[in-house]
Amino acid sequence: MPSRTEQKALGRPGAGPRRVSQAAQQAQPAGEWRAPWPVRDPDATKRPEPVVPREKKRLAFILSLIGATIVLSVWSLATGSIDCGPLEVIKALIPGRPETDLSYLIVHLRLPRLISALAVGGILALNGAVLQNVLANPLASSFTLGITQGAAFGACLAMIVLPVGATAHVSLSLVALCAFCGSILTSLAVMSLSLLRGMTPQGLILAGVAISALLGAGTMSLQYFASDVQVVSTMFWTFGDLGRGGWQESAITMSLFLVWLALAIFLAWDFEALKWGETQAQALGINTRRLRFFSLLLTALTTAAATAFFGVIGFVGLIGPHMVRLAFPRAGYMFLLPCAALFGGTFIIAADLLARTMLYPLVLPIGIICAFAGVPMFLFLLFKSAMSYA
């Protein structure tokens, strides 16, 4: 036992000296004294930093998206050849009030354009999220599978080979019908390839790229033998424009979008299981082949309708889902699908607003704005995938 003098020196009455290992003695700097017993950390009494729960972050993200959509919608309705304030927009939307020139512009021209923007952006972004899941490829979208090129080929066929009368001006309904048929036939070709034994999701993407190149060559061949007016008409259609449709087109597109969104949310748990691999999903009792075929069919139908009415609008299927994934990398599909659709609609509203105001009174095609925004995102995802495999 140590003496009373040693105990007082150690500061621990009634306890013997504690042995310190040789490694601890070597790690201790020379000339610095440390107590051989544990000393209470003075920082342990500090209050830890508050951690925001995951549900609150997601709720804040959803509310911010809804707020941005509302602000951009009111801004879009108030901007045009006749500018007005938010109060005039609200008055024009109230039913039963006397119709003025401004209220006619807002209700019959700007509001269908706004609804079309929400529906088209939601459809393309939702289809991108679904295709990236069922094909196990982050670069999958209706644009990369050749569905939009099929619509462009069908529209060019209607404008060049099937002119009405002696002119090349074809009615919108015939162009939309041919574009719809072109998208559906292209989708059926892609789905037929998906049913082949041994066809992998990566191989299906390559098949879509090949079909897209073939249809692009067919479109250029039709344009080569067309007149100048016909070439201008086909080129203008492929740019993408939300001003082509009215209330009928916007109502059809929005109805398809809402039905497809409800079905996609209903299948969210199946998509979540498929995310971890086809074997894992089959072990949970999911028919992956039927799920993939059903998803391809519905994405083809909705994309064909949106492209037939409003032309080719690309890269929204990449921007919408991946912007949500950048904010929430481990988000489930119950959260990802509606947020991606809402982000896609908000992005199209912002792109259309920029296209109408950037070079006013000239209105730029919305497909150009989306391409300028989507190409950097495509390259970012490509480099990210390359770095993950490096």
Give the per-residue SS3 of the chain: CCCHHHHHHHCCCCCCCCCCCHHHHHHCCCCCCCCCCCCCCHHHHCCCCCCCCHHHHHHHHHHHHHHHHHHHHHHHHHCCCCCCCHHHHHHHHCCCCCCCHHHHHHHHHHHHHHHHHHHHHHHHHHHHHHHHHHCCCCCCCCCCCCHHHHHHHHHHHHHHCCCCCCCCCCCHHHHHHHHHHHHHHHHHHHHHHHCCCCCCHHHHHHHHHHHHHHHHHHHHHHHHCCCHHHHHHHHHHHHCCHHHCCHHHHHHHHHHHHHHHHHHHHCHHHHHHHHCCHHHHHHCCCCHHHHHHHHHHHHHHHHHHHHHHHCCCCCHHHHHHHHHHHHCCCCCHHHHHHHHHHHHHHHHHHHHHHHHHCECCECCCHHHHHHHHHHHHHHHHHHHHHHHHC
Amino acid identity, residue 193?
Answer: L
Query: What's the pLDDT at 121?
Result: 93
Burial, 5: exposed, middle or buried (Cβ in 10 Å; 0-12, 13-18, 19+)?
exposed
Is 90 exceeded by the pLDDT of residue 310? no
Mean pLDDT value of segment 74-88:
85
For residues 63 and 288, the model is more confident at 63
Task: Name the least confident of 23-27, 182-186, 293-297.
Answer: 23-27
pLDDT band at 151 (very low <50, low <70, confident <90, very high): confident
For residues 371 and 5, the model is more confident at 371
Is 50 exceeded by the pLDDT of residue 170? no
| Encoded tokens for 250 | 């916007």
CATH 1.10.3470.10 fits 129-389, yes or no: yes
Query: What's the pLDDT at 92?
Result: 82
pLDDT band at 390 (very low <50, low <70, confident <90, very high): low
Task: Name the least confident of 97-101, 212-216, 258-262.
Answer: 97-101
The Cα 84–Cα 385 span in angstroms is 46
Q: What is the pLDDT of residues 38-59, one digit of tens each?
A: 555 555 455 555 555 778 888 9
pLDDT band at 168 (very low <50, low <70, confident <90, very high): very low
Query: What's the pLDDT at 69?
Result: 94
Output the average pLDDT for the chain.
80
For residues 367 and 259, the model is more confident at 259
Is 90 exceeded by the pLDDT of residue 371? no
pLDDT band at 167 (very low <50, low <70, confident <90, very high): very low
Is 90 exceeded by the pLDDT of residue 80? no
Is 80 exceeded by the pLDDT of residue 389? no
Percentage of the chain beyond pLDDT 90 is: 21
Q: What is the pLDDT of residues 335-349, one digit of tens each?
A: 999 999 999 999 999
For residues 202 and 184, the model is more confident at 184
pLDDT band at 26 (very low <50, low <70, confident <90, very high): low
Mean pLDDT value of segment 157-161:
84
